């Protein structure tokens, strides 16, 4: 599911997608935006530091799916809790 947000010159897209990790399925919200270098940057707010990019939006989303899966897998391997997704992102232009 995609939600497009337009605030003046800021355009962001929230994407809710299902990610698989070790046979478990997770739905995570990510924010996609164009970076300064022209690549699409995508980050998962519920997983601190989980960021990826791609030349296209499609590639960026595919890359973040892999990053999320690896992130969750690493937490589970280390016996750490996987942060819950709260689907609570707000974009504000200031």
Residues 28-79: tens digit of each pLDDT: 889 899 999 999 999 999 999 999 999 999 999 999 999 999 999 999 999 9
Domain count, the chain: 1
Checking if the pLDDT of 25 tops 70, the result is no
Which domain range does residue 68 map to?
A: 2-77
48 vs 6, residue with greater confidence: 48
Please check whether residue 84 lies inside any domain of the structure. Answer: no
Burial annotation 70-93 (CB, 10 A radius, 16+ → b, else e)? ebbeeeeeeeeeebeeeeeeeeee
CATH number, domain of 45, equals 3.30.160
Please check whether residue 93 lies inside any domain of the structure. Answer: no
Global model pTM greater than 0.85: no
Q: Among positive and negative, which fits the CA dihedral 17, 71, 58, 34?
A: positive
Return the pLDDT at 7: 42
Checking if the pLDDT of 11 tops 80, the result is no
């Amino acid at each position: 599911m995609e939600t497009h947000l337009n605030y003046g010159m800021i355009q962001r897209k929230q994407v809710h997608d299902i990610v698989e990790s070790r046979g478990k399925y997770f739905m995570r919200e990510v924010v996609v935006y164009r970076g300064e270098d022209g690549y699409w940057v995508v980050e998962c707010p519920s997983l601190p530091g989980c960021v990826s990019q791609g030349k296209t939006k499609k590639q960026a989303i595919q890359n973040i799916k892999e990053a999320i899966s690896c992130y969750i897998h690493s937490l589970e391997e280390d016996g750490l809790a996987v942060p819950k997704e709260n689907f609570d992102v707000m974009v504000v232009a200031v």
